[in-house]
């Protein structure tokens, strides 16, 4: 799943998912935004939308100077501090072009320069050419750029790659669909590989309108707080390997929350808890206010170093997240009332 697909471009990752799900789904619905919707048991009820975003943060070519050096802007939230001396891949119409983000050697930096906070526009990419004309033959304005950072395994079951935000959720939801194979269940399942989450959750907005679900689970990554320099007091207690994170808060439908919690407890699936007072910063925000409202839950996969080329996750968390979603679908009954307050749940 380590295929480039920065926000707003083509989505080869969804081609992979489609191939992977052959034989597990009843139909595939592509839409004009770029979302892809994988449907199982379309005549079932209630209609459940599962959303994982298939785009990733990255960079985009915006200017080539006279010497053939390339300037760029960020696609989504990219921290300028992680840019210097990175290898990058520019995704051109003729295939990948390799480059590096140049950086002044330490010997040549003045003391005060080292302290200066830089912006994305302070950096450039060197692709080894020396003339604007040559560079423009290879690279076009608007080409997307990703970090050149491959999947690796660390000790235990920790895996590292770029764009685990949110490819891991796309993977987890696809695996959940596979777990449903041959089982009987009430709901219609609409698994949506959404696009453009990193630039404003636009894919979730259009697909939630199109699917018109009764309820939804948005799945994303969230910040693990189990490494040096991050505050549990501020961000809660979230660890890799301790299970998916079930969110509670104003954006989360209480009935959905309660159902997920009871499935996790009943099936002995480890889980962690997170309180989100207002916006979630995920596709859940768009889905829950689609049309006249959708009962939406948020399940997150703990992630270290989000939006860097070394995002880390635990593989056991992925497995437990797939199980949680599959067991939720299997347990969800026709006629479930998602209206909160006196009809529904206290967590
Ligand atoms: Zn993100």
How is 201-232 classified by DSSP, letter by letter?
Answer: SHHHHHHHHHH--SEEEEEEEEE---STT--H
Distance in Å, CA 307 to ligand 1 centroid: 6
Marked catalytic residue, from 56, 197, 311, 327 = 197
Residue 134 annotated in active site: no
pLDDT at 269 over 80: yes
Distance in Å, CA 166 to ligand 1 centroid: 7
Is pLDDT larger for residue 7 or for residue 304? 304
pLDDT at 6 over 80: no
User: What is the average pLDDT across 237-262?
Assistant: 97
User: Above pLDDT 90, what percent of the chain?
Assistant: 90
Contacts (Cβ under 8 Å, ≥6 apart) of 119: 80
pLDDT (tens digit per residue) in 32-82: 999 999 999 999 999 999 999 999 999 999 999 999 999 999 999 999 999
Per-residue pLDDT, 12: 83
Q: Which residue has the tokens 């954006």?
A: 251
Distance in Å, CA 56 to ligand 1 centroid: 7
Is pLDDT larger for residue 110 or for residue 155? 155
Window from 14-23, 105-114, 206-215, 260-269 with minimum mean pLDDT:
105-114
Domains of the chain by range and CATH?
12-56+162-343 (3.40.630.10), 58-147 (2.40.30.40)
| Strand pairing category for 158-161 and 295-303 | unpaired
pLDDT (tens digit per residue) in 271-297: 999 999 999 999 999 999 999 999 999
User: What is the average pLDDT across 299-303?
Assistant: 98
Q: Give the C-alpha distances (Å, rounded to integers) separating 183 from 40, 224, 329, 330.
A: 11, 34, 10, 8
């Amino acid at each position: 799943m380590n295929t480039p697909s920065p926000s707003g471009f083509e989505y080869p990752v969804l081609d992979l998912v489609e191939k992977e799900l052959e034989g597990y789904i009843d139909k595939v619905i592509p839409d004009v935004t770029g979302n892809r919707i994988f449907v199982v048991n379309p005549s079932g009820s209630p209609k459940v939308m599962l959303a994982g975003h298939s785009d990733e943060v990255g960079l985009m070519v915006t200017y080539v100077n006279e010497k053939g050096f390339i300037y760029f802007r960020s696609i989504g939230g990219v921290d300028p501090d992680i840019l210097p001396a990175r290898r990058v891949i520019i995704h051109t119409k003729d295939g990948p072009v390799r480059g590096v983000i140049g950086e002044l050697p330490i010997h040549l930096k003045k003391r005060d320069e080292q302290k200066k906070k830089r912006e994305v526009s302070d950096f450039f990419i060197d692709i080894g050419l020396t003339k604007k004309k040559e560079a423009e033959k290879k690279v076009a304005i608007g080409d997307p750029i990703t970090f050149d950072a491959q999947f690796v395994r660390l000790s235990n079951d920790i895996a590292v790659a770029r764009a685990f935000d949110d490819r891991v959720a796309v993977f987890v939801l696809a695996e959940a669909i596979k777990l449903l194979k041959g089982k009987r269940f009430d709901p219609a399942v609409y698994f949506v590989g959404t696009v453009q989450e990193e630039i404003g959750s636009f894919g979730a907005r259009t697909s939630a309108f199109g699917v018109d679900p009764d309820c939804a689970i948005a799945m994303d990554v969230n910040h693990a707080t189990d490494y040096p320099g991050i505050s549990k007091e501020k961000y809660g207690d979230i660890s890799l390997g301790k299970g998916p994170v079930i969110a509670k808060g104003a954006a989360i439908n209480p009935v959905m929350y309660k159902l997920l919690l009871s499935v996790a407890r009943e099936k002995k699936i480890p889980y962690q808890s997170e309180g989100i007072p207002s916006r979630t910063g995920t596709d859940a925000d768009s889905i829950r206010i689609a049309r006249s409202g959708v009962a939406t839950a948020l399940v997150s996969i703990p992630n270290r170093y989000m939006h860097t080329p070394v995002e880390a996750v635990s593989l056991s968390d992925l497995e437990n997240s797939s199980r949680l979603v599959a067991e939720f679908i299997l347990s969800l009954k026709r006629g479930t009332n998602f209206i909160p307050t006196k009809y529904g749940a206290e967590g």
